[in-house]
Amino acid sequence: MTNSSSRFLTAILLALSVGLAGAQSRSSVAVITGEIRGPTSRDIAFSYQPPAALGMAEERVVLDSLNRFACELPVIRGGLVWAAGGQGRSAFFVEPGDSLHVIAEEGFADSAVSFRGIGADNNRFVVEWMAKFGQLRLDYEGLAAADFKRQVDLWRQDQFEFLAARGQQYSLSPGFINYATAAFNYEWAKLLISYPTNYRFANGHENTDLPSQYYDFLAEIPLVDEQAIGTMDYHTFLVRTLDWELQQRREEAGLLRRIGPPAKERGELAALRRPKLSEMYDLSALELSAETVAQLDALDEKAGRPKLSQLVDLSAVGLLVAAQARLDSVYENKRLAKLSQQYDLSVFGLSAAAQARIDSLYAESKSYSFFSANEIEAARVDTADGALTFYLPPAIKQSSLKKEPPKLSEKLDLSWLTQPARARLDSLYERRQPPKLSERLDLSGLGLAEQVQAQLDSVATGTYTRRTWSFARRYNLAKEKLAGRVRSWFLAGEIIRGFKLGSHALALAERMWEDFQQLNPHPEYTAAVQAALDKALKLQPGQPAPAFTLHDLDGQPVSLSQFKGQVVLLDFWASWCGPCIGDLPDLRLIAEKTATWPVIFLNLSLDTDEAAWREAIDQHAIQGVHVRADGFDAEEAKAYQVNGIPAYYLVDSQGLIVERLSTMSNTDEIVAMIEQSL
C-alpha cells in the first residue's frame, strides 16, 4: 500500500470512530445468547481475553432442553471470543455493552451462523472477513524483500478496502473499527519485522540484499497503542521489534557484527547477522580463554547451516567421498518443493498442464492462500495477477489435501544415484537429527579436552540460556520504550512467560516481579502476575505432577498415577506441530539409551481431530503410550500450563516433577536426569 492510500483509508476509518468515548457503553460486560440447531454437543466453551488481556479465560455453558444458551463475559475492550461446541469453533467479536444473539446450524462446525442484537453487524463482518482473508501464507525460500513487501502491502490494503466497503453495508461500531484498524496494521507490521528471521530460517543464511530503507515502516506505526491490546498480532510485533532494537544497540556497542559497511558509512541501520555462538550461549562455566571463544565464534560463522553429511551418515549409503561431497553441494542448493508435491490438487479438477502452471506461479510468488466458506459450492482456483488462491467448500478440509512431506529424492536431483541408494538415503534423511556442535564444527585445532567438548555440546544444544537472556533484556527495554497501560500489560506478560521457562528462570522472573510491583499502577495486572506465580510454583521441581486420566488408542483409560515406580517423560504434542515431529529422532535416541530402565514415554496429544492423531502416530512410528486431550483448552493442558508445543515434563518414580524441558536435543543431559530420577 502506498503511503498516500494508507493515509487516505486511515483517515476514513478514524473519522468513523469519532465520538468513541461518548458512544461506548460504560458497562464492563457483554452478553451472548443464542440457540444451536442440531447441536453436536451439549457443552459450549467460550474462550475470551479477561480484562487484563493476559492469556485466555473460559466460560462454559450447557444447552437447555430447547438447545438455547446464555453467558455473560467480563470485558473492558472489544475483542474476539472463540465459541467451541462439538468439533466446531467460531469467532465472535464482543465489546462492553453488547447483547448479541447467535443462531448456529449444526453446532459451530463450518455452519451458517446468523446474528441479531447489539453487535450483530460487527459479527456479520467478522464472518465475511475471516472467510475471505483467512491467514496469509508465504514461502520465504528465495523470497526477495521487494516481492515480500509488495505482497504484505497489498494484503493490508485489500483488508482496509474490504472494511471501507462493508462499512457502507453494515453499521459497524466505532470500537470495532478501531479493533479492525489495529488488527490490520499490526498484522502487517508483524510480518514486516519478522521477514529477516523467516528468510534466514527458510534459506539458511541472512538476506544481505535488504533495501537501505527497509525498516522505515517502523516510523509509520506507533509502538504504543492501547487500542491494539488484545488484537492477534500486537504482542508479537512488540516482542520482535524490541528484540530488533536490542540487537541494534548491541551492534552499535560493537557486540554484534554488521552485514556490509558500517551504518555510519551507509547512513542507515544495517541488517544483522545472527548472534555469535558466545552471545547465544553462556560459555563461562567452561573457563575458555578469550582467544578460544573467538575461534569458536569464527568456526560457527563459517560453518553456516548443517551439511547433508552432518545430518545423515552418507557412508551407510555406500557412497565414496567424492559422491558425498557432490551430495552436500546439491543439498546446499536444494530446490523449493512444488505446490503439487505439498497438496493434492486433483480436487480442483486441474489437468497436468494446469498443475504445472500452478507450480510455476508458486515458484515465482512463494505464496498461496486457502479459503473456505459456506457460499463456496465447488473447489476452484483463482490465479488473477499471479496470486494463488484456493477456494474450498466446507465439506473439503484443507488438511485433507495435505500430502506427506516430499522425500529427499523428490527435492533433489539424485538421478545419478542408483534406486537402492536413493531409497536408503530417503530413509536415513527421514530419521535425521541435528548434529552436535562438535560434529558441525572442526574443534580439533582448539586443543580442547574431550570433557570440555562434551560440555560444549551440552551447552550449545540447550535453549534455556538464550531464552532467559532475551526475556530479561526485553523486559528492561520495554520499561524504557513503552508507556501507560501498554507498558504494564506487556511487562506483566513477560514476567508470566518467565515463570513458564522452567526452574532455572524462576528466580530471575521473581526479581522482575518485585520490580514490577513498584511501577505498575493497574491492579488487574498485579493480580494476574500473582496468580501466574502461584500456578508456576505448583509445577516446580519436587511438586506432585498434576493427575489426569485420558483414553489410549484402544479406548482404555490411562492415568498418570498408574506409572508410579517408573520415570515418565510426558510429551505434549500434536500431529500438525512441525517442531514436535522434528524432536522424534531425539526422543528415539533417548528411548534407545534408556531401553532397559523403567521409563515410560507418555505422549499426550492436543489434537482436536482424532483421525489426524491416529494417522500421525502410524505415519511417524511414534513410540510409547498414547493419549489425547481436546486442544489447548483441555484441563490437562491448563493444569500443566501448556500454551505452546512441544512441551515436556520429566516426572520421577514417585510422581514428582523433576523439570519442565523445552527441548529434547540435549539427549545425554536428559538421559542423566532420567537415571537420577529412577
- pLDDT band for 631, please (50, 70, 90 cuts): confident
433-488 pLDDT per residue, tens:
667 788 888 888 888 888 888 878 766 655 445 455 567 788 989 999 999 999 99
For residue 614, is pLDDT > 60? yes
Helices of type H across 173-269: 174-203, 234-252, 263-266
Sheet hosting strand 43-48, strand order edge to edge? 57-62, 43-48, 79-85, 88-94
CB 362 within 8 A of CB 139: yes
pLDDT for residue 360: 86
Q: Is 663 helix (H, G, I), strand (E, B) or coil?
A: coil
Portions of the chain given CATH number 3.40.30.10: 549-677
Q: How far apart are the first and last CA of the chain?
A: 60
The Cβ of residue 265 has, within 10 Å, a number of other Cβ atoms equal to 10
> For 528-548, b where at least 16 C-beta lie within 10 A, e where not — what string?
bbeebbeebeebeeeeebbeb
Look up residue 647 and give its amino acid.
Answer: A
Look up residue 342 and give its amino acid.
Answer: Q
377-435 pLDDT per residue, tens:
888 888 876 678 888 887 787 767 777 767 888 778 888 888 888 888 888 887 776 67
121-133 pLDDT per residue, tens:
999 999 899 888 8
Bridge pairing between strands 625-628 and 599-605: parallel
Distance CA 366, CA 377 (A): 27
Q: DSSP state, 305?
A: S
CB 600 within 8 A of CB 655: no
- pLDDT band for 251, please (50, 70, 90 cuts): low
Distance CA 313, CA 514 (A): 51
Name the residue among 79, 77, 101 with its Cα closest to residue 26: 77
CB 122 within 8 A of CB 93: yes
- pLDDT band for 275, please (50, 70, 90 cuts): low
Higher pLDDT, 242 or 109: 242
What is each CA distance from 206 to 144, 275, 297, 331, 609, in whole angstroms?
12, 12, 17, 18, 37
CA angle centred on 20, ends 18 and 21, rounded to 5°: 125
Distance CA 338, CA 32 (A): 45
Name the residue among 502, 664, 643 with its Cα closest to residue 570: 664
For residue 137, is pLDDT > 90? no
The Cβ of residue 583 has, within 10 Å, a number of other Cβ atoms equal to 21
Higher pLDDT, 278 or 534: 534
CB 509 within 8 A of CB 517: no
CA angle centred on 217, ends 214 and 220, rounded to 5°: 160
The whole-chain average pLDDT of the chain stands at 82
Rounded (10°) angle between helices 174-203 and 145-169: 160
* DSSP H or E stretch at residue 664: none
Q: Which three cell numbers stand for residue 207?
A: 538476506
Name the residue among 630, 113, 557, 629 with its Cα closest to residue 374: 113
Higher pLDDT, 304 or 515: 515
Sign of CA pseudo-dihedral 263, 266, 268, 272: negative
Give φ, ψ of 648 to 5 degrees.
-130, 140
Peptide bond into 521 cis (omega under 30): no
543-583 pLDDT per residue, tens:
999 999 999 999 999 999 999 999 999 999 998 887 788 88
CATH 3.40.50.150 for the 549-677 domain, yes or no: no
670-675 contacts, C-beta under 8 A, 24 or more apart: 670/569, 670/590, 671/590, 671/593, 671/594, 674/567, 674/569, 674/590, 674/594, 674/597, 674/599, 674/650, 675/594, 675/597
Q: What percent of the chain has pLDDT over 90?
A: 35
CB 299 within 8 A of CB 444: no
pLDDT for residue 260: 33
DSSP string, 369-385: EEEE-TT--S-EEE-GG
Tell me the range of 86-90, 489-493, 608-612 where mean pLDDT is highest.
489-493
Q: DSSP state, 464?
A: H
- pLDDT band for 374, please (50, 70, 90 cuts): low
- For the residues 137-160, what does the mean pLDDT come to? 91
> How many angstroms from the chain centroid is the CA of residue 2?
30
For the chain, the residue count is 678
- pLDDT band for 174, please (50, 70, 90 cuts): very high
The Cβ of residue 470 has, within 10 Å, a number of other Cβ atoms equal to 16
pLDDT for residue 157: 95
7-48 pLDDT per residue, tens:
434 443 333 333 333 333 335 899 999 998 878 778 888 888
What is each CA distance from 71 to 80, 208, 417, in whole angstroms?
15, 53, 64
The Cβ of residue 221 has, within 10 Å, a number of other Cβ atoms equal to 17
For residue 636, is pLDDT > 80? yes
pTM: 0.65
Give φ, ψ of 584 to 5 degrees.
-60, -40
Distance CA 281, CA 158 (A): 43
pLDDT for residue 464: 45
What is each CA distance from 401 to 134, 341, 613, in whole angstroms?
17, 11, 16
Q: What percent of the chain has pLDDT over 70?
A: 85
Helices of type H across 520-664: 523-537, 578-582, 584-593, 610-620, 635-639
Higher pLDDT, 520 or 358: 520
Q: Which residue shows C-alpha cell 507498558?
A: 487
